[in-house]
């Protein structure tokens, strides 16, 4: 399933006029060629162009000599194709490449049809087809366009008030002040040891945004929908989470009372608790963006995301973080990726560092913000629990551990600031 003439035409056009390489490379990559010899020859064409070496039958033939394609390169160089149509030839090659990707995705889905759950199978297939439809090469921008977009963002920030928040408000002043809200294209990692309150904090952020009318999505790989709903309602109503889950009347009364003024059923929040594969999660978030216009998504937690192949935990988490960052940029949304740190930190009685995040995969270079939570072991039994917050990576704001701790009421799944002006339930 390919067009041999178009593949040869692309190479011939570059030989005819090596300035065409730029136009072609903006449409396709070597991987788009079906014929392996064509792929190898095109890689040499790109290398010659990058080195500033003129491209003709002689230089190209010499470059592919070790690949064993000298004769074929010479034959292609003699093909009568014009460089004026180079981009059109490249689009033909690109179209066939994407067709093959769709076919491959369908074949893989068929192969797994008898061993996968239907919902997971559909989500995985949707993710693969979505990836196949993406352009391999991004948009080329001139400086006029870049500066126009920059001024648009600055103007938007100037109209938001004195706080200058341009992203989705979390209604937690410490976080909003450090991050400027949940800004589009940002990948934010929320990391801590188990049982520190990572999920509670992410849900509190989601509820606060939803109560402001901001649509968002939550992919939970650890909890079911009813537990998530109970945690959100415990925060919303200030009810005891455990008593709410056990149907105690006092907790139920508080929840029902809170519903009278703010009905959670109207919140623009969307949940997925059944998708575990990376491709499926990408497809789900993409679907939420297209159908509901979400402005943020939460993945809890990335250590449980499944990927294809026999990869080490380090490589698996690295792949997840890279793909989530690309997804945030492509959809123009903020993504919060919850990450679990090793319990060994508790024994060492120290605050986490970026190095602890590196142990969970090559995440540091992908993320825009690394937000860490820490509880001193001596404070674990306190009520509420003082939780220290550190912004150990922050591309656009202040970094370091914050002077004041957030107070976490685990019974009501609520983080509060010690300062006046906290935006959550009283």
If DSSP codes are grouped into helix, strand and coil, which group holds residue 276?
Answer: coil
Round to whole Å and give the CA distance between 73 and 62: 9
What pLDDT does residue 59 have? 92
One fold for both 4-133 and 151-417? no
What pLDDT does residue 184 have? 93
Asked if 374 and 367 count as a contact pair (C-beta separation under 8 A), the reply is no
Location of structure tokens 């508080």: 254
Quick: pLDDT tens for 83-118: 788 889 999 999 999 899 889 888 888 888 887 777
What pLDDT does residue 173 have? 92
Round to whole Å and give the CA distance between 286 and 338: 19
Round to whole Å and give the CA distance between 221 and 240: 24
What pLDDT does residue 422 have? 37
What pLDDT does residue 139 have? 60
pTM listed for this prediction: 0.71
What pLDDT does residue 425 have? 42
Round to whole Å and give the CA distance between 329 and 297: 12
What pLDDT does residue 163 have? 61
Task: Assess if CATH 3.40.190.10 describes domain 151-417.
Answer: no
Q: What ranges in 239-369 are assigned the alpha helix state H?
A: 241-245, 249-261, 278-292, 313-331, 344-348, 354-358
Return the CATH number of 4-133, one of 3.30.70.1710, 3.40.640.10, 1.10.860.10, 1.20.1250.20.
Answer: 1.10.860.10
Q: b/e string for 181-210 if b means 16 or more Cβ within 10 A?
A: bbbbebbbbbbbbeebbbbbbbbbbbbbbb
What pLDDT does residue 426 have? 36
Question: How many other CB atoms sit within 10 Å of the CB of residue 214?
Answer: 21
Percent residues over pLDDT 70 in the chain: 92
What pLDDT does residue 211 have? 93
Q: Which residues neighbour 259 within 8 Å (Cβ) at sequence distance 6 or greater?
A: 237
Question: How many other CB atoms sit within 10 Å of the CB of residue 179?
Answer: 26
Q: How many helices (H) and strands (E) does the chain have?
A: 17, 10
Query: Residues of the chain whose pLDDT is less than 50?
Result: 419-426
What pLDDT does residue 36 have? 94
Domain-wise residue ranges, the chain = 4-133, 151-417
Mapped to the 3 state alphabet, what secondary structure does 375-398 carry?
Answer: CCHHHCCCCCEEEEEEEEEECCCC
Question: How many other CB atoms sit within 10 Å of the CB of residue 118?
Answer: 8
């Amino acid at each position: 399933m390919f067009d041999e003439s178009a593949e040869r035409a692309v190479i011939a056009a570059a030989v005819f006029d090596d300035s065409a390489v730029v136009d072609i490379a903006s449409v396709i990559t070597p991987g788009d060629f079906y014929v392996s010899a064509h792929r190898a020859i095109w890689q040499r064409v790109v290398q010659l162009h990058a080195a500033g070496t003129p491209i003709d039958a002689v230089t190209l033939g010499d470059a592919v000599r070790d690949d064993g394609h000298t004769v074929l390169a010479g034959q292609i160089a003699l093909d009568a194709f014009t460089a004026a149509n180079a981009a059109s030839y490249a689009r033909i090659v690109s179209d066939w490449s994407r067709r093959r990707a769709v076919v491959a995705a369908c074949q893989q889905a068929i192969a797994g049809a008898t061993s996968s759950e239907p919902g997971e199978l559909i989500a995985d297939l949707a993710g693969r087809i979505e990836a196949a439809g993406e352009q391999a090469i991004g948009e080329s921008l001139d400086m006029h366009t870049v500066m126009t977009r920059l001024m648009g963002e600055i103007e938007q920030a100037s109209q938001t008030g004195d706080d200058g928040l341009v992203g989705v408000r979390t209604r937690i002043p410490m976080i909003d002040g450090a991050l400027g809200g949940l800004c589009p294209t940002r990948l934010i990692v929320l990391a801590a040891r188990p049982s520190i309150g990572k999920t509670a904090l992410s849900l509190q952020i989601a509820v606060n945004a939803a109560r402001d009318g901001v649509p968002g999505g939550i992919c939970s790989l650890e909890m079911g929908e009813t537990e998530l709903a109970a945690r959100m309602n415990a925060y919303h109503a200030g009810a005891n989470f455990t008593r709410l889950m056990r149907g105690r009347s006092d907790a139920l009364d508080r929840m029902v009372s809170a519903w009278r003024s703010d009905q959670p059923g109207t919140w623009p929040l969307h949940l997925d608790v059944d998708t575990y594969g990376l491709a499926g999660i990408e497809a789900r978030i993409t679907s939420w963006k297209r159908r509901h216009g979400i402005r943020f998504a939460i993945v809890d937690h990335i250590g449980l995301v499944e990927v294809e192949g026999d990869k080490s935990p380090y490589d698996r988490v690295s792949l997840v973080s890279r793909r989530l960052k690309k997804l945030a940029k492509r959809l123009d949304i903020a993504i919060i990726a919850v990450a679990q740190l090793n319990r060994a930190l508790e024994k060492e009685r120290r605050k986490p560092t970026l190095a602890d995040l590196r142990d969970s995969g090559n995440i540091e270079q992908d993320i825009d913000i690394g937000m860490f939570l820490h509880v001193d072991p001596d404070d674990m039994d306190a009520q509420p629990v003082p939780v220290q917050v550190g912004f150990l990576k922050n591309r656009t704001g202040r970094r370091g551990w914050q002077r004041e701790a957030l107070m976490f009421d685990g019974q009501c799944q609520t983080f509060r600031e010690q300062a006046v002006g906290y935006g959550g339930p009283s």
